[in-house]
Chains A and B, each alone.
Chain A
């Protein structure tokens, strides 16, 4: 009886330790200096180029997802404002996937990601005839690494000036 109680207590303590250590690892990833991720969405800056001051050229996605994060929406609002100011500029939205998927599905996924960005730009007043969508699937990674951070940089939609 007593023995089993001790066991139970140890178990609780053990579980608590596990939970704590899990938290610790998560924190470690989030504070990675070189480039960080939230969930598995890239939140760093080291591949980003700027269309104009304060207008980043790309947004990032979670694995297999095409949902825009809060940060992505902020980036796209800045791009929309920049495009409204420069009404002669047209853009190509280049959608990409990471290398951890089959080629054909990734082509479709890249197209879906670029379209998610296009739809958002359109809701901020950019006409669809100023936007072309081009999917590269997994064919044009920016980072050749085989690790979760590299893959997170490659899951992206990049806005490129077309003229």
Chain B
């Protein structure tokens, strides 16, 4: 459905094969690439049509602002102030005067045009290498006008991909738990928003406690824990239709759900008689398989991207540690051996790393380790933070952070934060209410 909305109608010019500007995303980028995002040009007739349809005065400028913000928050690019631009947007899109852009120290330039055609929004954009005086990419596509924010995200993704060599993560959404009220009686609702915090929508009313929502691979379904009728069980929600159904209706609590990488199964914990084990349920035939069988707590399971392995959290050694096993439950191996407790392991979409939460000497850390447990790197330290979720390209982690209360027990907040895998570029993501348990969708337009 979502995929159908955006149709890439024609590619104007194939992507050039010679290497021009490149951005290295493997290290902390302290010197972001100066880029000029020229506002998308628009003729007066189209401008008026969009103003009527979307109540936006200049949709071309609005879309380029989205691109600027995305590039800037990635930490890899430094969008230059528009006030310094010498060339008008429409002329720049035809043929940039590279000397002018060079003068303001832009290394890359994005230009484009937006038209109102048959009640649709048609956009074309180009990416230019200013120093080499060459066009790097040109694309055009058509969509419904109400998708205008996604148009900005798709342009950002294409630019990011062309300049870094890796897929972007801007045309994505975050599902999370919106929180309100006093700490002792929090009201929690499922909520969904664009990656940049826009288009927030509450999916539940807050009548029952909901926790830990996670997307399926196509980002159309969500699995989560709900305390509906005071029975904590794993549920499935179709975002398009709003249909909810219980999937973990076992005689005890089911929790910590996640999808398998093919989307066909849900893996979750089932707690009974003081022990928690890991189970899978096939969504098609509802067949339940037991994966672990141990008197300890086994929870927070997460599949490797190829579906062959599972990483999970267990206290079978006495305390919370991270383990991996084959997806049938065999070959269980502990991989975390550092000081402290380890929880919430999540396999990266690239397959090479596991992100986790670590508790050591009263501090909480978000970190990553290789799948053999070696190469542990702690990215951020705080009073309380947990539950990392990977961006679809495996370059950014989103998690939530809670604050310490004062002597009177006041001042509690919970917010979403993101940090690059490099340990740089830590940012708070704005949400209308307090927020926790974020889960990042896949790239929607790919």
Tell me whether A107 and B256 are in contact in the complex, defined as CB-CB below 8 angstroms, given that A102-B343, A102-B357, A102-B386 are known contacts.
yes
Task: Tell me, in angstroms, the Cα distance from A66 to B274 when the chains sit together.
Answer: 9
Contact check, A107 vs B253: say whether CB atoms are below 8 A apart: yes
Whether, in the assembled complex, A145 has its beta carbon less than 8 Å from a beta carbon of chain B, the answer is yes
Size bracket, chain A contacts: 20 to 34
Residues of B with C-beta under 8 A to A150: 409
Tally A-B pairs: CB < 8 A.
Answer: 103
- B336-370 contacts to A, CB under 8 A, are 341, 343-344, 357, 359, 362
Q: Mark A95-115, 1 if CB is under 8 A from B, else 0.
A: 000011111110111011001
Of A102, A115, A150, most B-chain CB atoms within 10 Å: A102
Q: Assuming A101-B359, A103-B437, A135-B232, is B271 touching A108 (CB within 8 A)?
A: yes
A17 at the B interface (CB under 8 A): no
Encode A138-156 as 1/0 by CB contact (under 8 A) with B: 0111111110001000000
Q: Which residues of A contact B384 (CB under 8 A)?
A: 99-100
Give Cα A107 to B357, complex, Å: 16
What 8 new A-B contacts, CB under 8 Å, besides A107-B255, A108-B255, A139-B209?
Answer: A102-B343, A104-B269, A105-B297, A108-B276, A111-B274, A112-B275, A115-B273, A150-B409
B255 to chain A, nearest CB (A): 5
- Tell me if A144 and B343 are in contact (CB < 8 A): no
Contact yes or no, A115 B274, CB < 8 A: yes
One digit per residue, 1 when the CB lies within 8 angstroms of any chain A CB and 0 when it does not, for chain B 404-419 equals: 1101011010000000
Contact A64 B319 (CB under 8 A): yes
Q: Which residue of A lies closest to B255 (CB)?
A: A107
B406 → A minimal CB distance (Å): 8
Residues in B whose Cβ lies below 8 Å from that of A109: 297
Residue B299, interface by CB 8 Å: yes
| A105–B182 CB distance below 8 A | no
Residues of chain A touching chain B, judged by Cβ–Cβ distance below 8 Å, are 64, 66, 99-105, 107-109, 111-112, 115-116, 119, 133-135, 139-146, 150
B271 and A105: CB pair below 8 A? no
Q: Which residue of B lies closest to A113 (CB)?
A: B274
How many residues of chain B get a CB closer than 8 Å to chain A's CBs? Answer: 47
20 A-B pairs with C-beta separation under 8 A:
A99-B402, A100-B359, A102-B300, A102-B320, A102-B386, A104-B212, A104-B255, A104-B269, A104-B299, A104-B344, A108-B297, A111-B253, A116-B274, A135-B253, A139-B209, A139-B211, A140-B184, A144-B184, A146-B409, A150-B409
A107 and B387 contact, CB distance less than 8 A:
no
- The smallest beta-carbon distance between B44 and chain A, in angstroms, is 54
Q: Contact: A145 with B359, CB < 8 Å?
A: no
Of B256, B274, B313, B362, most A-chain CB atoms within 10 Å: B274
CB-based closest 10 A-B pairs? A115-B274, A102-B343, A144-B409, A144-B183, A108-B276, A146-B404, A108-B297, A111-B271, A104-B256, A112-B274
Per-residue interface assignment for chain B, residues 234 to 274, with 1 indicating a CB less than 8 Å from any chain A CB and 0 otherwise: 00000000000000000011011000000000000101011
Which single member of B271, B313, B343 contacts A135 (CB below 8 Å)?
A: B271
